Amino acid sequence: MMEVMDILRKYSEIADERIRESISDITPDTLLRASEHLITAGGKKIRPSLALLSSEAVGGDPGDAAGVAAAIELIHTFSLIHDDIMDDDEIRRGEPAVHVLWGEPMAILAGDVLFSKAFEAVIRNGDSEMVKEALAVVVDSCVKVCEGQALDMGFEERLDVTEEEYMEMIYKKTAALIAAATKAGAIMGGGSPQEIAALEDYGRCIGLAFQIHDDYLDVVSDEESLGKPVGSDIAEGKMTLMVVKALERASEKDRERLISILGSGDEKLVAEAIEIFERYGATEYAHAVALDHVRMAKERLEVLEESDAREALAMIADFVLEREH
């Protein structure tokens, strides 16, 4: 795991430099500070590293995908800023959210300007045909991120969400941008259609595993690792694979009880909801689905020739489920 962190650190530096170049000329100063707040606050930078490694894994130079890598991280940051406004979340990456520090109007603008800068980063250099192709991938993922967030918002009012609908939602909300990182990275590295498709699948699979594991940690981890109370998703009424499965499998009585707890905001009832998840194997089921997606992700890497970059991508796939927060 230490090794994965080292890889992420090394690769993300290439993207960080491009991001810094890209946003440093934003004016006025207030907008610049609001825009760079979450970027300087850190994060694991998995997404940009995946873009760079995907370029390298198809025989390109990591630097060929530097613009794409920067763009993906900028889009991720833009979506975090807007999501925090929508969900009224006040803490992000251990810092107050952008809208808490600068107010909602400036936070909306900071997101918008980072979104613009993302496209600027993609088109800044490289072969025009490749850039156009990579850009189409990135833009498509942006549409999906918005659609996924809208689906997620709609799910909070529904109790009949199917596993398929849930998987579509997290694909759009989380996995599509990760798949765009690996796919567009492979395009910029000059990958073959087969390599590009394999890396897109790899990205989608680890993206899905990532989100399911995130939801899973909310019930199996502890407050210290999470940095927030255990089961806060349950208290907030967030739709997760465990909720979908438990609602599908539970007895009438347990189902009614679970429904009354979801979104109640009452953290004392959370333990009872987690018990219901366990009773019907929902927690275990979610973990198995995440594991399965990591396995599929690694399988798809076999299309590529052996290389350090391919090895690193396989390690990152495992790392997705080793995270404790």
Instruction: Give the C-alpha separation, 83 to 123, whole Å.
Output: 26
The amino acid occupying position 223 is E
Q: Which is nearer to a copy of itself, 183 or 300 (CB)?
A: 183
Instruction: Give the C-alpha separation, 240 to 234, whole Å.
Output: 9
User: Smallest distance, Å, CB 231 to a copy of itself?
Assistant: 23
Instruction: Give the C-alpha separation, 64 to 80, whole Å.
Output: 26
Q: Which is nearer to a copy of itself, 110 or 276 (CB)?
A: 110
Q: Which is nearer to a copy of itself, 30 or 307 (CB)?
A: 30
The H or E element that residue 95 is part of is: strand 95-96
Q: Which is nearer to a copy of itself, 90 or 266 (CB)?
A: 90
Cβ–Cβ < 8 Å for 98, 33: no
User: Smallest distance, Å, CB 233 to a copy of itself?
Assistant: 18
- Tokens for 64, please give them: 């060929």
φ, ψ for residue 95 (rounded to 5)? -120, 160
User: Smallest distance, Å, CB 141 to a copy of itself?
Assistant: 9
User: Smallest distance, Å, CB 29 to a copy of itself?
Assistant: 9
φ, ψ for residue 92 (rounded to 5)? -150, 130
Binding site residues, a copy of itself, CB under 8 A: 26-28, 30-31, 82, 85-87, 104-106, 108-109, 111-113, 115-117, 119-120, 123, 128-129, 131-132, 135-136, 139-140, 142-143, 145-147, 149-151, 153-154
User: Smallest distance, Å, CB 151 to a copy of itself?
Assistant: 6
Closest to 117 (Cα-Cα) out of 78, 65, 79? 78
Q: Which is nearer to a copy of itself, 108 or 296 (CB)?
A: 108
